[in-house]
Amino acid sequence: MKLLKGEWWEDTSIGLPLYQGILGKIGTTDNISIIDTLVKKQIVDTTDVTGIIEFSSTFNSTTRLYSFTCVVNTKYGAVRVNENL
């Protein structure tokens, strides 16, 4: 989740599209849904991830902090992820 889209020179197509698709969109329920979709896509496109078991997110409009928690299934077992963007 810390790799931004276009940041890695070997493959500029991977990474979270923070500048391309997230900044400027936070604030409404519809936009939070768009951000959730982008975050979930980044997770399932990660090598060895086989799916998302649980996912929840929050947005604090005062601090403008988007947070999510999820349980991800990998070929090695389930992993809990907590991130703030």
Mean pLDDT, each 10-residue run in order, the chain (85 residues):
54 60 56 84 91 93 85 96 86
Write phi, then psi, for 15 (nearest 5 degrees): 115, 160
Does a structural domain hold residue 57?
yes
Question: pTM for this structure?
Answer: 0.69
Structural domain count, the chain: 1
Does a structural domain hold residue 77?
yes
pLDDT at 10: 58
Write phi, then psi, for 60 (nearest 5 degrees): -100, 110
Type of residue found at 65 = L
CA-to-CA distance for 22 and 35, rounded, in angstroms?
Answer: 6
- The residue behind tokens 């900044």 is 23
Q: Retrieve residue 11's tokens.
A: 């493959």
CA-to-CA distance for 36 and 68, rounded, in angstroms?
Answer: 8
Does a structural domain hold residue 12?
no
Does a structural domain hold residue 22?
yes
Q: Which domain holds residue 36?
A: 18-84
